[in-house]
Structure 1
């Protein structure tokens, strides 16, 4: 077992690289292969993941919005268009059927400029999503209203430096207000 966070991060980055670079890899199958079929997916899903009942309960809170991702978390840009469409559409349908509500938001797997682009944004729109989140860093501004299916976001982690974050937000807000 890996005791240290940096070891876990190295393994995560290795798996991430494999998934990003290979269109035929299903991330869950890859994990099972890495752990030589000793990885008990059901145990970890039950122990560490929210159940549909948990998600449905959270969705009833007016301060909580449930969004979609995809079915298997594959890099959409590497998939054929029909495969990417299926990943997006099936995820939306599955969540909606489990929480009995419309799902209008999507966060793209990996979400960087090489993993999602115009095609993926169009597929999300065709699936009925109203808003999409990438992993591109940034604040949202009025100018984003033209590209609401490709919004940036700010990643909140335990490593965040609050002073630097505040400074970045102020700089970007000032810069954007000067460009408008």
Structure 2
């Protein structure tokens, strides 16, 4: 998230906390519970660098541990997605939280799993099946690496020409990252991947090695999935924005990932996460498509709490990000009230369009 937007969001959260508005709104906004989303969990060594645009995808083990305890102390049940679907469908049980992780980072095993094991709490990991095979393209990290290396400009192939953006200072690097990132997100998937591969070649970044360094391989994933606390969900084959794909290719990404996970791990996944998960990556068409492969639930990254009406939209569930820029229990206490998301969504409880 751009620095300006981060500052504005922090100010808004601080206002909700200072005025007590979150607590006042909670009876109307907290809903039945929420689904947290995380990516990487690893210790922070020293001061974070000024240029670290993907820090939003990282939290420390200490912060995750504190959030788990906070959720339990607030009286929420930490449950599986299956039980969450049951509670939404039948309207029974107390307020709950689910914890989900995307992509299969190795640090999830090293740092997150022990925290859940210590408390005997369940969670879900969504896996794009090319990643544990070592063929994933974590392009957002490659882009960060390229811009970190580039000086005084980063060069990107755009529409047959070289696009040069300034990278001499950290502020320039952050602005250039935002510009290139959102331009790439607007491209067709295959074209975007071609641009990223060209960028990786230009700045000598080995995408395959990067994936193998950061993501659990199949052997590691099999051991990880063997813990009864762990549920493995599907996350497509190649981590593509499904809304940009033809129907046949989108279905293949969904079905193919479920088939591969069943083949490798012995259990067919019934839970799914849309890559990126924003409205431009997954919408009404994808929500309907997710029902065909037999997924019981599918999650987005649309912000929000879970309400009884979500029983009719189990393949369009919102999630709440544990964002590396907001590692404060003051913020997460507000998340549990649902107030920030109600305001964000104009008090609309279900967004499945």
Same fold (TM over 0.5): yes
Matched, 1:89 2:255: yes
Task: State the Cα distance separating 1:106 from its structure 2 match.
Answer: 0.9
1:41 aligns with 2:88: no
Secondary structure of residue in 2 paired with 1:132:
strand
Q: What is the TM-score of this pair, normalised by structure 1?
A: 0.81
CA contact (8 A) 1:19 1:27 kept: yes
Q: Which residue of 2 aligns with 1:167?
A: 334
Q: 1:113 aligns with which of 279, 287, 306?
A: 279
**Structure 1 residue 98: Cα displacement:** 1.3
User: Comparing both structures, which one devotes a greater share of its residues to strand?
Assistant: 2
Aligned residues: 173
Q: Distance in 2 between matches of 1:121 and 1:170?
A: 27
Contact 1:85/1:123, CA 8 A, preserved across alignment: yes
CA RMSD of aligned residues (A): 2.7
Q: Displacement, 1:150? A: 0.8
Change (3 A) 1:171 1:31: closer
Alpha-carbon distance in 1 for matches of 2:227, 2:191 = 33
Pick the aligned partner of 1:5 from 41, 48, 52.
52
Q: CA deviation at 1:64?
A: 1.1
User: CA distance change for structure 1 residues 164 and 45 in 2, over 3 Å: closer, same or farther?
Assistant: closer
CA distances 1:34-87 after superposition (whole Å, capped 9, x unpaired): 122633233222221101111111211121111111122222112111111111
Relative to its length, the structure with more helix (as a share) is 1
Choose the corresponding residue for 2:234, options 33, 58, 68. Answer: 68
For the residues of structure 1 that align with 2:294 and 2:226, how far apart are their CA atoms?
Answer: 21
SS at match of 2:190: coil
Quote the Cα distance in structure 2 between the aligned partners of 1:42 and 1:33.
14
How far residue 105 of structure 1 moved from its aligned partner, in angstroms, is 1.0
In structure 1, runs of 5+ residues without a counterpart are none
Q: Which residue number corresponds to residue 182 of structure 2?
A: 17
Cα 1:96/1:106, change in 2 over 3 Å: same
Which is greater in Rg?
A: 2
Distance 1:47 1:79 in 2: 29
CA distance, structure 2, for counterparts of residue 157 and residue 70 of structure 1: 23
Cα distance in 1, alignment partners of residues 338 and 287 from structure 2: 28
- TM-score normalised by structure 2 residue count: 0.44
Structure 2 CA distance for aligned equivalents of residues 83 and 123 of structure 1: 11
1:111, distance to aligned residue in structure 2 (A): 0.8
Q: Relative to 1, partners in 2 of residues 1:148 and 1:31: Cα closer, same or farther, differing over 3 Å?
A: same
Q: CA deviation at 1:23?
A: 2.1
Cα distance in 2, alignment partners of residues 32 and 153 from structure 1: 31
